[in-house]
Structure 1
């Protein structure tokens, strides 16, 4: 029997300049290549990825096509490539994996252009599925983490436990062509590389897809693996800084110390996701390694100044810890990048205004604090991990008219603008137009008054001018209709980290 061959596609979701390694597909390729072979097409660097996918399938034999799909804007491009493949190669199975089919499995399989959905981790499920597909009489019931169609109904196989799968050597970066084109000029350095050391997060925040994907599991890499990766990035690719995509970089200190020691030897400035409580627990020895390794910025989910809301969303942190960590970061030369979620379904306006005041307090404590503001959009009940659904049923969500929110039932519906905004925490059905404008105006005044240090495009003089223009509005809380700032920003075009990333 010929070894199975799989085409892996990363649909376009960002600009070329913002493209980073498609780490999920690289992990899948490493797993597939143990028993077969694979090819990767990355729509973030290949803008004609739909036609190139079709050409690849005309020129080579593929037993299956795997499409990685995040929620939000990537759904539309995933639909486009899947429909094109189904029209030209109707017999080739199409498999969706990633966050979208994990959170919205039934919606994914409602599409005629999706044959299989892989829930959560795919490094074991995908190779088993592809091997079964090439069998004349495939048996699918034993494949954990797989959802599939049988006689017009959807079958959900049992969930597969999360495990860490490390290839013997490096990930197959050569499948991407020249890996150096994924290095970017950022606040951290001239050639920033993106990677992921640990996977998962031990917490169960109700708004976070990671909780549904990993259900509280987290796995750190061996120090030798991290050292191997960093050596390749620095000495082979010429990278000078690192952006870590770990869902929660600082886990337990005893497990982190070997990794920090490796990073301290390479001294490559870095950025990561972190939690306030984890940073506050670090010993002086750990902070010494953090300083030596050159941590420049930590993205911390502050979320809310309300202890009750933090409890309700199962964040596991407190507002006073946010205040403490802002000061702690200042002392250690680390810029805290705090994310806040405004406009919750209950007490929407009051909680939003309270958050604005808390943000001002953060700026008083540490003016260098970066602020990122999102709309609080909790996961639909069907998207939460099955164990969470059984243990802690969520509160029904109501729209602006007091009617139950009805979530989309197909990928095409999820690709509509209002649901893309919901998935990206940019809008919600319970927001009034007045509050929506109030939030946008506050964000405009705040980002003009305190332009992000991540902005490498706008000239310093322009940022100083905008900051001065916004000064009186920020000081006197005159946020409404900042027409002059909107006009000036059309020329300067300040960077928005919540949209463009690092």
Structure 2
């Protein structure tokens, strides 16, 4: 009889089946559990719309020693709550462990829920196996206190163990994709190719932007893979699964050139078109020889956090880049055949309307330099102070936030409160308490005119004639800056339904 711990890993629904990609975090956890002698099963709510019922059915069919649930926050919170409450009601003795961005940024809120027993902060590859081992040996408080990155309950109060150092473990094997059933169903037709695969080579980001959940998660740490590991992974994805292109989920793909060149050399041999996150300063600092590798590896699009045209604001949020670098990188990308996908944050808490209009003007200037530049617009929603990394809170406290009435913004204290529509919008950078109806509408109208005038190349479903027609219809509004109430574009878009990358991704 096998007495090894068996863990149920769940990825609650967060996107459509069409947009589903590999649940990479759970695949890494499954590999980590296997290395330590445990086994696991993965249920992915992005492809299994009955994942709550299927999780209960799986637990009825065999014993699980714990349930691990990955929780991003925003739209994933409600299904995470649903599956957690269902499991707690049916199997009250089984420990429920939350991991991912939400419990990392909001451990107190996560543990305030009666259906969450443990919260893993940051990387869980070592924390989860250690917790599973402790639970298997009737864990006492002394054992729990030794597990880095763990938050737990003692006498009704939350206990937060010290953070854990990040690593990139490699057992010489590819991830256990077979736990997903047929992994080929996760390959998608995208702008990059007919069978685009999701992959993550490096983890973390060495920059510490104050608004960014990645900085709060990783605390300024980046760990890159060995070139041999990337070659092994790409070989499997291309030759075994049939992938023809790659969407890299690295938090910041381009870092220091000397570290990137060995990886680019591997990618140049595979020549699989790819998309990634990048920074303008990193791309501008690449040598011509590195750009030669980038072109040979077939980089098609780089998502660049431009954030703001205000240099002082970029300094305050510790972005580390300048507006002139944003302007320079769109020209650089044009010369090298790479489409820059630029994200901007409008409506900051101070000088809200003025900064928003300034951003609109800057976007128009970028489009004049490189019309192919893709633009993604978000509302600036800084992290709650207690969600920022502890080192950043100590060094530079964030200024207080106030709503339209001048009252301090009070953030939710439970998962249920964070799952309310207005806080889901906050987490998704779609709305903020200091945003009034007039400016909210102004932003919506600008985005409508902009995306009709310049439909994204990522949209493969809308007919070319429809996109050309919408672009022509929006031309006069964009040319004269007449964004208000574009009723004709909204009506036409109901029929065409242009793709919105900030909602549906690549």
Normalising by structure 1, we get a TM-score of 0.99
The alpha carbon displacement at 1:404 in A equals 0.3
1:263 aligned to 2:264?
no
Aligned to 2:70: 68
Q: Distance in 2 between matches of 1:220 and 1:365?
A: 33
Q: Distance in 2 between matches of 1:487 and 1:135?
A: 62
The alpha carbon displacement at 1:137 in A equals 4.2
Q: Please point out which of 464, 467, 471 is paired with 2:471.
A: 467
Q: Secondary structure at the match of 2:144?
A: coil
Matches within 5 A, 1:248-287: 248-287=252-291
The alpha carbon displacement at 1:166 in A equals 2.2
Do the aligned partners of 1:307 and 1:319 also contact (CA within 8 Å) in 2? yes
1:290 aligned to 2:301?
no
Deviations along 1:452-490, whole A, 9 cap, x unmatched? 000000000000000000000000000000000000000
Aligned to 1:109: 111
Aligned to 1:6: 7
Aligned to 1:49: 51
Q: Secondary structure at the match of 1:73?
A: helix
The alpha carbon displacement at 1:3 in A equals 1.2
1:133 aligned to 2:135?
yes
Q: Distance in 2 between matches of 1:77 and 1:168?
A: 34
The alpha carbon displacement at 1:164 in A equals 1.5
Deviations along 1:406-450, whole A, 9 cap, x unmatched? 000000000000000000000000000000000000000000000
Aligned to 2:181: 177
Deviations along 1:270-293, whole A, 9 cap, x unmatched? 000000000000000000000000
Do the aligned partners of 1:204 and 1:314 also contact (CA within 8 Å) in 2? yes
Q: Secondary structure at the match of 1:8?
A: strand
Note the residue ranges of structure 1 that are not aligned, 5 or more in a row.
none
Q: Please point out which of 335, 356, 366 is paired with 1:362.
A: 366
1:243 aligned to 2:247?
yes
Q: Secondary structure at the match of 2:471?
A: helix
1:430 aligned to 2:434?
yes
Q: Secondary structure at the match of 1:300?
A: strand
Q: Secondary structure at the match of 1:9?
A: strand
Aligned to 1:28: 29
Q: Distance in 2 between matches of 1:48 and 1:451?
A: 34
Q: Distance in 2 between matches of 1:137 and 1:345?
A: 46
Q: Secondary structure at the match of 1:302?
A: strand
Instruction: Provide the aligned length of Structure 1 versus Structure 2.
Output: 502
Q: Please point out which of 37, 46, 50 is paired with 2:39.
A: 37
Aligned to 1:418: 422
Note the residue ranges of structure 2 that are not aligned, 5 or more in a row.
none
1:402 aligned to 2:406?
yes
Segments of 4+ in structure 1 off by > 4 A? none
Q: Distance in 1 between matches of 2:139 and 2:445?
A: 60
Aligned to 1:498: 502
Deviations along 1:361-418, whole A, 9 cap, x unmatched? 0000000000000000000000000111111100000011111000000000000000
The alpha carbon displacement at 1:136 in A equals 2.5
Q: Secondary structure at the match of 2:258?
A: helix
The alpha carbon displacement at 1:161 in A equals 1.2
RMSD: 0.7
The alpha carbon displacement at 1:168 in A equals 2.2
Aligned to 2:340: 336
Deviations along 1:305-331, whole A, 9 cap, x unmatched? 000010011100000000000000000
Q: Please point out which of 86, 89, 93 is paired with 2:88.
A: 86
Do the aligned partners of 1:31 and 1:167 also contact (CA within 8 Å) in 2? no
1:97 aligned to 2:96?
no
Q: Secondary structure at the match of 2:445?
A: helix
Aligned to 2:457: 453
The alpha carbon displacement at 1:134 in A equals 1.3
Q: Please point out which of 428, 442, 447 is paired with 2:446.
A: 442
Do the aligned partners of 1:118 and 1:145 also contact (CA within 8 Å) in 2? yes
The alpha carbon displacement at 1:163 in A equals 1.5
- Closer, same or farther: CA 492–153 of 1 in aligned 2, 3 Å: same
